[in-house]
Amino acid sequence: MEIRIGDLAKRSGCEVVTIRYYEKEGLLPKPARSGGNFRLYGEAHIERLQFIRHCRSLDMTLSEIRALLGLRDNPMQDCGEVNTLLEAHIQQVEMRVSALLQLKRHLVDLREKCSGSRSVEACGILQGLGNCNCHGE
């Protein structure tokens, strides 16, 4: 089976520009070309693109995906590196969750500075935002 990039985009739910970007970044192998110089993709491209999209849905970086693809392309290797990469990603997610919880606490504290109807001039939220020491946080 050989399909053009537009068909690959439709089948994968991925934008054409993203497919080209993944090719440029070396995540997708270069496709064959038709006599008219159109890109021609096969099942392996579809499967690899699905793998990449699943990794992206888990918020993995292109660097992490590149490493996973490299390991996946060498199936006889020990999968310890995969576990190490995933553990590092989990730690990054935990740090982001912590930062988001801190952000939520800050927003809740800010919201509590103004309750009820007041003039904008007396709004505790706007005053709190104006007095924020954002560079020190």
Q: Tens-of-pLDDT digits for all 137 residues of the chain?
A: 799 999 999 998 899 999 999 999 999 998 988 888 888 999 999 999 999 999 999 999 999 999 999 999 998 988 999 999 999 999 999 999 999 999 999 888 888 877 777 777 777 777 777 776 655 54
DSSP SS3 for 111: helix
pLDDT of 134: 59
What H or E segment, with its residue span, contains residue 32? Answer: strand 32-33
Residue type, 14: C
User: Residue 117 and residue 22: Cα distance in Å, rounded?
Assistant: 51
DSSP SS3 for 105: helix
- Token couple for 32: 């064959």
Q: Which domains does the chain have, with CATH numbers?
A: 1-77 (1.10.1660.10), 78-136 (no CATH)
pLDDT of 96: 96
